[in-house]
A and B are shown apart, each in its own frame.
Chain A
Amino acid sequence: MIGMSKQQILLGLALALVCGATGFWVLTAPAVWHAVRGVPTVPVKAAQLENGQTLFWAGGCASCHATPDQDDRLRLGGGRTLPTPFGTFRVPNLSSDKQDGIGGWSDQAFITAMREGVSPDGRHYYPAFPFTSYALMRDQDLVDLLAYLKTLPAVTGRVADHDLNFPFSFRRGLGLWKWLNLGSGPYQPQAGQSDDWNRGAYLVNGPGHCAECHSPRDVMGGIRTSLRLSGGPDPEGGAGYIPNLTSHASGLAKWSAEDIAEFLKTGFTPDFDSAGGSMASVIKNMAHLTDADRMAIATYLKSLPPLPSNKPAKKTP
């Protein structure tokens, strides 16, 4: 560094550090999202409980939030553990309990949580809670969903915090992750596509959050958008490979739309095999939707351009 004294270099380094730290602090602040993309508006229409119930099942809330080791899928005390490569996540209480659950939440707080992944006390949520998909949900749908959740039984008890490995334990860092992986919703229907197709696209990519498991992810844990819905390794750390949902030969090429709709209702494939693992739980949710909604999902999935699965080749023994 010709012409610069040692002091100037040190000053420069200190400045860079301060700027970097300030930049990081600003970029990762949970409130900055609001400042840049605007505060969500809360619709004024009265909540529709029936629609809220549909979204509850479409969103698969019970699969993660229902109290484990009991059969009541409407008892949302949380407590399930999700072992992942990043550490162990513990699913929080989503019941209507005012202290330990979401009973005391405002519409605004719920929309912010679902769409921005920020808790009412201003902390980032980890994307094990699939807010990157829920971000596509419409304001009215979110208000209806919260109203429905508040009709479910209150369960007391707060769940302990996650147990994650460094650096993932550092919540603030998620602010940067969100700039890379969180789009701004809600879903905008595509002109030129049928209502059925748009309904399916909304259910699959928004509340249904299918892509969260059925897509490969990059090293940062973000969905590889070019390979969306082509299947992926089990994000819950299992050894299996989650199937390809595109119309490629390794995916749903041989399934008719009716086959898909029927599978979502009963769990039986066209070969009368029966879904296992997390998908069996998803079927229990999807079975509550209307035939029309299941058919809309099928219509959308059948329209996906074929993408080969990235499933690793079987090792020959």
Chain B
Amino acid sequence: MPNLTMPKITLKHTALLMLAAGVLALPLLSSPVSAQNDPIASRKAVMKSVGGAMRDPGQMMRGQAPFDLAKVKASLETFVDASGKMSALYPKGSETGGETTASPKIWEAKADFDARMVKFGADAKEALASITDEASFKANFPKVGQNCGGCHETYRIEKK
């Protein structure tokens, strides 16, 4: 006679099952799909990449690190890339939440905000072309960096 009763679920089984579910769910948590659905997290990550890329040239500007053209170019490429991604990461409905420090003014003046992102990218591209040595770096890099404060003044608010 076949055993028609359900197999007995022991504590050991439950633990194994939970572990398996956890392992299966892991890639979901870190998948790029969830990042795309969360514009606040995505734009924070892009902004962080810009801040991170500012470190090398920033330290070179301050004389805290030796000039390195390859590193400067890599940073400028990051800026160009970020400026292209940014505008799409502020859709309507993402005004609040996730401890965002985006100012509500972004959505009142989206065209101006987008134009500033385009300018940031264009300035970075121009710097990529014009920076060839330390002297041209010191002369042309600050113009790129000024985009940060210029935009933050209007469109970033203080952390709570």
User: Known: A241-B158, A241-B159, A268-B148. Is A276-B153 also a contact (CB below 8 A)?
Assistant: yes
Please name the residue on chain A nearest to B62 by beta carbon: A262
Report if B71 contacts A (CB, 8 A): no
Task: Find out whether the CB atom of A280 lies under 8 angstroms from the CB atom of B152.
Answer: yes
Residues of A within 8 A of B19 (CB): none
Give the shortest distance, in Å, between A265 (CB) and chain B (any CB). Answer: 10
Interface 9-mer from B21-29, B51-59, B123-131: B51-59
User: Can you list, as one digit per residue, whether each of A236-261 has a CB less than 8 Å from chain B (1) or not (0)?
Assistant: 00111110000000000000000000
Bound together, the chains give a CA A239 to CA B104 distance in angstroms of 12
Give the shortest distance, in Å, between B5 (CB) and chain A (any CB). Answer: 45
Q: Interface residues, chain B, CB within 8 Å of chain A? A: 51-52, 54-55, 58, 61-62, 101, 103, 142, 145, 148-150, 152-153, 155-160
Residues of A within 8 A of B156 (CB): 276-277, 280
Bound together, the chains give a CA A248 to CA B160 distance in angstroms of 19
Residues of A within 8 A of B58 (CB): 268, 272
Q: List 6 A-B contacts (CB under 8 A).
A: A239-B157, A240-B160, A241-B160, A274-B148, A277-B153, A280-B152
Bound together, the chains give a CA A267 to CA B145 distance in angstroms of 9
Given contacts A238-B158, A241-B160, A280-B150, 5 further A-B contacts (CB under 8 A): A241-B159, A267-B148, A268-B148, A276-B158, A280-B152
User: Known: A272-B51, A276-B152. Is A266-B145 also a contact (CB below 8 A)?
Assistant: yes
Give the shortest distance, in Å, between A61 (CB) and chain B (any CB). Answer: 16
Contact of B152 among A239, A266, A272, A274 (CB under 8 A): A274
Report if A273 contacts B (CB, 8 A): yes
Task: Find out whether the CB atom of B51 lies under 8 angstroms from the CB atom of A240.
Answer: no
Give the shortest distance, in Å, between B98 (CB) and chain A (any CB). Answer: 10
Report if A275 contacts B (CB, 8 A): yes
Task: Find out whether the CB atom of B157 lies under 8 angstroms from the CB atom of A267.
Answer: no
Q: 6 closest A-B pairs (Cβ-Cβ)?
A: A240-B158, A276-B156, A280-B153, A276-B152, A274-B148, A267-B149
User: Known: A238-B157, A239-B160, A314-B160. Is A272-B149 also a contact (CB below 8 A)?
Assistant: no
Contact of B51 among A267, A271, A278 (CB under 8 A): A271
Residues of B within 8 A of A276 (CB): 101, 149, 152-153, 155-158
Interface residue count for A (Cβ, 8 Å)? 23
User: Known: A266-B142, A276-B153, A280-B153. Is A240-B148 also a contact (CB below 8 A)?
Assistant: no
Interface centre among A273, A276, A277, A284 (most CB of B within 10 A): A276
Bound together, the chains give a CA A283 to CA B156 distance in angstroms of 15
Contact of A277 among B52, B54, B55, B157 (CB under 8 A): B157
User: Known: A267-B148, A280-B153. Is A272-B55 also a contact (CB below 8 A)?
Assistant: yes
User: Can you list, as one digit per residue, whether each of A83-117 has a CB less than 8 Å from chain B (1) or not (0)?
Assistant: 00000000000000000000000000000000000
Bound together, the chains give a CA A204 to CA B54 distance in angstroms of 28
Bound together, the chains give a CA A267 to CA B55 distance in angstroms of 13
Give the shortest distance, in Å, between A188 (CB) and chain B (any CB). Answer: 34
Report if A196 contacts B (CB, 8 A): no
Task: Find out whether the CB atom of B152 lies under 8 angstroms from the CB atom of A268.
Answer: no
Task: Find out whether the CB atom of B54 lies under 8 angstroms from the CB atom of A240.
Answer: no
Task: Find out whether the CB atom of A275 lies under 8 angstroms from the CB atom of B152.
Answer: yes
Please name the residue on chain B nearest to A271 by beta carbon: B51
Residues of B within 8 A of A278 (CB): 153
Bound together, the chains give a CA A218 to CA B13 distance in angstroms of 62
Give the shortest distance, in Å, between B151 (CB) and chain A (any CB). Answer: 9
Bound together, the chains give a CA A274 to CA B156 distance in angstroms of 10
Bound together, the chains give a CA A15 to CA B95 distance in angstroms of 59
Bound together, the chains give a CA A268 to CA B103 distance in angstroms of 19
Residues of B within 8 A of A266 (CB): 61, 142, 145, 149
Give the shortest distance, in Å, between A258 (CB) and chain B (any CB). Answer: 8
User: Can you list, as one digit per residue, whether each of A287-317 has a CB less than 8 Å from chain B (1) or not (0)?
Assistant: 0000000000000000000000000001000
User: Can you list, as one digit per residue, whether each of A217-244 has a CB less than 8 Å from chain B (1) or not (0)?
Assistant: 0000000000000000010001111100
Give the shortest distance, in Å, between A113 (CB) and chain B (any CB). Answer: 27
Bound together, the chains give a CA A81 to CA B41 distance in angstroms of 32
Give the shortest distance, in Å, between B143 (CB) and chain A (any CB). Answer: 12
Task: Find out whether the CB atom of B157 lies under 8 angstroms from the CB atom of A275.
Answer: no
User: Known: A239-B160, A241-B159. Is A281-B62 also a contact (CB below 8 A)?
Assistant: no
Give the shortest distance, in Å, between B54 (CB) and chain A (any CB). Answer: 4
Residues of B within 8 A of A242 (CB): 158
